[in-house]
Amino acid sequence: MVVIIDYRAGNLTSVVRSLKALGVNGEVTQDPAVVEKATRIVFPGVGAAGTAMAILRELKLDQALRTAFEAGTPILGICLGAQVVLDYSEENDNTPCLGLIPGSTRALPRQPGLKIPHMGWNSVRFLQAHPLFQELPENAEYYFVHSYYPAPAEERMVLGVTEHGVTFPSVMGRRNLVATQFHPEKSGRFGLQLLENFLRWDGRWQD
């Protein structure tokens, strides 16, 4: 059972549609019991970290995600879902987050001529081999919409990087969790390939 977590952070329709294109009917849920029973979890989202964490706690989805992570369930975080898996976010006065990956979420630096939010297509340079990257070309472009970015505390958890004013981690991983700052469900055939790879992944990865 592939579960898509609904914590009122939008962006669910395109995820459901992309999974259907791959022959999978994802179950959208706010029920923590369903999340804990999932065989794999997609954790998307757009919006602000403070609101997101408040809703995750209200629905008891924060603990369900921690339980699933500790159980080894494959998890894919997307955009806001990638940012709140870290210890805290600079957004909304250093919002405490899920703590599944050590590190923080930081604001993209504002520079003359640099558009914030970072919106549109940009390349991702993979730094490590990972099962989710199978059949993906180097420096392919993916779709981004964000003003903050994830910054794991340990370099070995950075799987890919992107340039926008700074070089920032755009893919990170720890054990059975992979998180992308970009939106694979909005990134054409390469995004679909990454999702297909996730559906095949057994969740094993070096920590």
Residue 183 annotated as catalytic: yes
Q: Determine the distance from the C-alpha atom of residue 125 to the mean position of all C-alpha atoms in its chain, rounded to a whole number.
A: 17
Contact assessment for residue 146 and residue 79, using Cβ atoms and an 8 Å cutoff: yes
Give Dmax (Cα) for the chain.
48
The single residue of 118, 130, 146, 185 carrying the catalytic annotation is 185
Strand boundaries in 44-199, DSSP class E: 75-78, 88-89, 95-96, 103-107, 118-123, 125-126, 141-146, 148-152, 158-164, 166-174, 177-180
What does DSSP say about strands 125-126 and 158-164: parallel, antiparallel, or unpaired?
Answer: antiparallel
The single residue of 118, 164, 183, 196 carrying the catalytic annotation is 183
d(Cα 156, Cα 129) in Å, to the nearest integer?
Answer: 12
d(Cα 190, Cα 99) in Å, to the nearest integer?
Answer: 29
Residue 118 annotated as catalytic: no
Beta bridge partners, 104, equal 88, 151
The single residue of 79, 91, 130, 164 carrying the catalytic annotation is 79
- Positions annotated as catalytic residues are 79, 183, 185
